[in-house]
Each structure stands twice: as structure tokens, then as C-alpha cells.
């Protein structure tokens, strides 16, 4: 590979790029990789999760604009490029039975049509590697599941001259990964390290809830060393002020413990058109120098 390596991270909402794989992206940016975040929706229906900002009438009325500005700040912190796909947040339906999704939202779009928007961006940016969510969305938010669906279609279609001919010159990405940063081995390791040091762990309830799930464990294939960029990750996450409480559970594990106990971010290799051996420590394994 003689030209610049390129990575595209496909995410559902602004803030997802900072909570999933942000240190990886910052690491690759530092190495000269061209990194683009594709954000499917504007996060218009996201709740204000930071208790310090709840009840602010300006934020509630202008949530779309506020979250766009937060995205701008996070993008600058990470050093990445970013593009909006232009779809409207579906919201997270709650209740029993679940209410219907809002008309016109991202999760109700035709998958093939929405994938065409991503295909156009893939053909313009020409990524060698794409990261996205697994079929469960990482968690069952309808926008995350839809992000998975369009990413899978677009990965294959972008290199097919018979698909989406109006979307530009074909380009075939070489590898596709699922973000798996919220995995049980990492959580258990940090939980036990905190308890062993006599510290309180924020993961006790997480682990109890995990016991209730019957979902099979994901296969972690790729462990990217990126602990030097954990501070940048956290700074980018805090930039999404409406979504993140800087005094909340996200930041309760001391940085030195994070770096010592679990210095990587994890991925699941879902598609590869190049030869590689598992486990990997590089999303571009099998691509570099080919």
C-alpha cells in the first residue's frame, strides 16, 4: 500500500465516535492515517443525560444545533474528519409495549436507499478499513441496528459497479470491523483491579445485568494498543456535554489503572478481503505494505 491509509468509522449519533474507538482513531491520526467519522443522524431525539444541563430551555429547544457544535469540538480534539449522512434520530423507544418509531426517522428508512448514501461517501473517501456496530447494535438502539444494516450493504456494494452507479467511481474497502469496546473481559479486568486496590468499582451493576443476558459472547479478534490516547478519548467524550456527566461513571476508573490493566480497544473482524492472522493488534494488518 503506497498511498495514505484511510479509516472510516460509521456511527449512529454524535458522541458515539467518542465513546467507541476514539483512542484508536486518535492513535491512527497521530501516525498519519486519514480518519473520517460518518455520523448517520443528528442526535435530535437524544435525551439530555448530563444532570447539570437538564432543564435548560435553550438546549432542549435547540438540541440539534447544540449537538452539532459538540460534534465539531470532539472532531477537533480527535483530529478526525467528519460527515453527516443527514438522517433523523429515531429515539430510543421505551415502555411495554414499545411505542412505534417516529415517522421519517433513520430506523424506518429503506435499508438499500440509506446504504446508498453511505456508498457515496465510501466512494468519495476511499477507506481501506471501516468500523461499525454488530447486528445487535452494540446495544439495541434502533439507530445502531440500522447503522449495522447499512454498513454491511455499503461495504459490499461500494466496490460493485452494478450497484449505485450514480454514487461515483467504485471503491472496495478491504476490512470491516465491529466495535467491541464494551466487552466482558475488559469490564471484569477493570472491576477486579479496582477491588484489589480497595477502590470502588462502577462496574458491579453492569456485570450483574450481563448475567441476565443470554446473548453469546462476541469474538474479540483485534486489540489495538492505544493507551497513550485515553486522555484524548476522554476529552472528546466530555465535549459532548449534553450526553456525558464529567463526574459520572465513565470517568471513575483512575487513568493509571486503565493504562496498566487494559491498554487496548477491541474489535471483531467481520469481513476481510486480505490475509491476516488472528489475533491482531492493528486494523490495517494485512493491508500495510501490500
Sign of CA dihedral 77, 83, 89, 91: negative
Q: State yes or no: 156 annotated in a binding site.
A: no
C-beta of residue 35 within 8 angstroms of C-beta of residue 76 = no
Q: State yes or no: 144 annotated in a binding site.
A: yes
What 3-state class would DSSP assign to 46?
A: coil
Q: State yes or no: 13 annotated in a binding site.
A: yes
What 3-state class would DSSP assign to 125?
A: helix
* Other CB atoms within 10 A of residue 38 CB: 26
Torsion of CA 269, 274, 276, 278, to 10 degrees: 20
Cβ partners under 8 Å of residue 160, min gap 6: 170
Q: Can you state the angle between helices 230-239 and 63-78, rounded to 10 degrees? A: 160
Query: Binding site for Zn(2+), residues?
Result: 13, 16, 144
Query: Binding site, residues?
Result: 13, 16, 144
Amino acid at each position: 500500500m503506497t498511498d495514505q491509509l484511510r479509516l472510516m468509522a460509521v456511527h449512529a449519533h454524535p458522541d458515539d465516535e467518542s465513546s467507541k474507538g476514539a483512542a484508536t482513531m486518535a492513535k491512527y491520526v497521530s501516525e498519519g492515517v486519514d480518519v473520517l467519522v460518518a455520523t448517520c443522524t443528528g442526535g435530535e431525539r437524544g435525551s439530555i443525560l448530563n444532570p447539570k444541563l437538564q432543564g435548560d430551555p435553550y438546549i432542549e429547544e435547540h438540541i440539534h444545533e447544540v449537538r452539532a457544535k459538540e460534534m465539531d469540538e470532539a472532531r477537533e480534539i480527535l483530529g478526525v474528519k467528519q460527515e453527516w449522512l443527514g438522517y433523523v434520530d429515531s429515539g430510543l423507544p421505551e415502555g411495554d409495549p414499545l411505542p412505534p418509531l417516529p415517522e421519517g426517522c433513520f430506523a424506518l428508512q429503506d435499508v438499500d436507499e440509506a446504504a446508498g448514501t453511505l456508498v457515496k461517501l465510501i466512494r468519495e473517501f476511499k477507506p481501506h478499513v471501516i468500523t461499525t456496530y454488530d447486528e445487535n447494535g452494540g446495544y439495541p438502539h434502533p439507530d445502531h441496528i440500522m447503522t449495522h444494516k447499512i454498513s454491511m450493504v455499503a461495504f459490499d456494494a461500494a466496490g460493485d459497479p452494478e450497484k449505485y452507479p450514480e454514487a461515483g467511481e467504485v471503491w472496495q474497502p478491504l476490512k470491516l470491523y465491529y466495535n467491541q469496546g464494551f466487552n466482558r473481559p475488559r469490564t471484569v479486568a477493570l472491576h477486579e483491579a479496582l477491588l484489589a486496590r480497595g477502590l470502588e468499582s462502577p462496574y458491579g451493576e453492569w456485570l450483574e445485568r450481563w448475567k441476565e443476558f443470554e446473548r453469546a459472547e462476541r469474538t474479540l479478534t483485534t486489540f489495538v494498543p492505544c493507551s497513550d490516547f485515553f486522555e484524548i478519548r476522554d476529552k472528546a467524550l466530555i465535549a459532548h456535554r449534553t450526553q456525558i456527566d464529567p463526574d459520572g461513571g465513565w470517568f471513575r476508573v483512575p487513568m493509571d489503572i486503565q493504562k496498566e490493566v487494559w491498554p487496548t480497544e477491541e474489535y471483531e473482524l467481520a469481513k476481510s478481503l486480505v490475509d491476516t492472522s488472528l489475533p491482531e493488534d492493528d486494523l490495517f494488518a494485512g493491508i500495510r505494505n501490500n
